[in-house]
Structure 1
């Protein structure tokens, strides 16, 4: 069935509305001026150089990568285990459990941040790298949970039953049958969890400490205190990196589906 042309027009209009403002970051990040200007008065890589050379920016990038690198595996393990538990519940309990574990997606981040800050302050974790990792793991879990749960709900358990009946141990059946089938969901959840953790501002703003300032917090401070044009360079790098990762994951899935279709025929 052919879709009406206005649907394509609407889709491209929304895409343009979301994308075009972001594209203005690129020329602004290449400005040779000392303030935010568009169009740039001249062209220079000075703000990219400052992003690498300036200690506060370089350390912020390192801290963000460290936090995301630790928070992502934790979110993957917790989200995947939760998905396996939920898929075995009855429909009503599964709906309630999924809604409860997905709450960080709909609850304002400031409420989560205040709750985490109050708890971690009593535990002595506020201002520490461990506190940042734990605090930013919670908002990342729902992305893994939803992605893996979607794969499990479409999974035919008869494959696992067949493997067990042929003499495979439960671990072997999981490793050779279940895991490959849910792997795309795990990868998708991990990608979104990494991005969510790396890009988190509100929780990181409350849990920051000396030497534990993340890149989003550094960008926020630069806007509030000095309007440093280095922000445009940092934003451009974030957009390019995230877009590249998402594109590569999507391209890999498309190639995998094409290979499966070719093998089936």
Structure 2
């Protein structure tokens, strides 16, 4: 019995190298080829999947054309030498950009947009950051209700918001003033800061703030040295959204602004109604360029944030 058992073990030991060699052979070029073949087969789509993929591409292209067509139609008109918005262009000229730059009316509207936009952005950054920090630390069943109230200016139609602000600000003399417009635009822009900063705080480690406090840092110093650098990407994104919202707002300006607070969108709206001039197309191109710059900056910040997360 002993010799037979030893012979069986020897035979099994003799088979193991053979199996190992077979496995190694399967993992060689032939095995790699089989893996590639399986991968290629798995990447093949069924006819219904190919149809769905093609339909998705077609619909996406049509939506892109639908969104970009107005911009692509306006840009050539801003370089027209004619006095009317017509195609084909009679010639190319920069006269309407020159008219925009040299016109006190257009320059004043651009200045008002910048003043109101920057001021409301700074206020919304402060208020939105405080609200996001408070909501992130608050544990209550009423938190969703409060968050919905804070974000309501994004959901409520602009006309309803404008009417409510008008009847609230008119009795205290804030209509027709820069302060009233800045406060109204801040109410519209703050939710965007709350959203972006709140999303950043979702991945924030609260132990870092506790560690700073245990080392003797005051709450303000802990915020400045620990919390602020970590939420800065979200804060910058929210600031860009806030500025874009304020800079593009026209409904609230129609209700709240006086003759001295006419912003660029308000001036464009009046120009379309009262006197259609190709200068409006130059203003539209400038406004679009500012929006593109803001979006490019936002995308650069997003990619930088992803690289920092990946490196960490």
Corresponding position of 1:71: 120
Is contact 1:125-1:131 (8 Å) kept? Answer: yes
Distance in structure 2 (CA, Å) of the matches to 1:141 and 1:41: 46
Is contact 2:244-2:294 (8 Å) kept? Answer: no
Measured against aligned partners, the alpha-carbon deviations of 1:133-184 in whole angstroms (never above 9, x if no partner) come to 1121111111111111111122121222222233333222222221111111
Secondary structure of the equivalent of 1:211? helix
Match of 1:177 among 222, 226, 236: 226
Match of 1:106 among 152, 155, 180: 155
Is contact 2:233-2:305 (8 Å) kept? Answer: no
Is contact 2:174-2:180 (8 Å) kept? Answer: yes
1:223 corresponds to 2:272: yes
What value does the CA root-mean-square deviation take over the aligned residues?
2.1
Match of 1:135 among 163, 184, 188: 184
Distance in structure 2 (CA, Å) of the matches to 1:248 and 1:9: 29
Corresponding position of 1:246: 295
Per the TM alignment, residue 45 of structure 1 is displaced from its structure 2 partner at its CA by: 0.8
Question: RCO (CA 8 Å, sep 6+): is it higher in 1 or 2?
Answer: 1
Per the TM alignment, residue 10 of structure 1 is displaced from its structure 2 partner at its CA by: 4.3
The structure that has the greater radius of gyration is 2
Q: Which runs of 5+ in 1 are unaligned?
A: none
Superposition map of 1:37-48 within 5 A? 37-48=86-97
Q: Which runs of 5+ in 2 are unaligned?
A: 1-41
Measured against aligned partners, the alpha-carbon deviations of 1:65-111 in whole angstroms (never above 9, x if no partner) come to 11111111111111111111111223632211111111111111111
Output the TM-score relative to the length of structure 1.
Answer: 0.91
Is contact 1:72-1:194 (8 Å) kept? Answer: yes
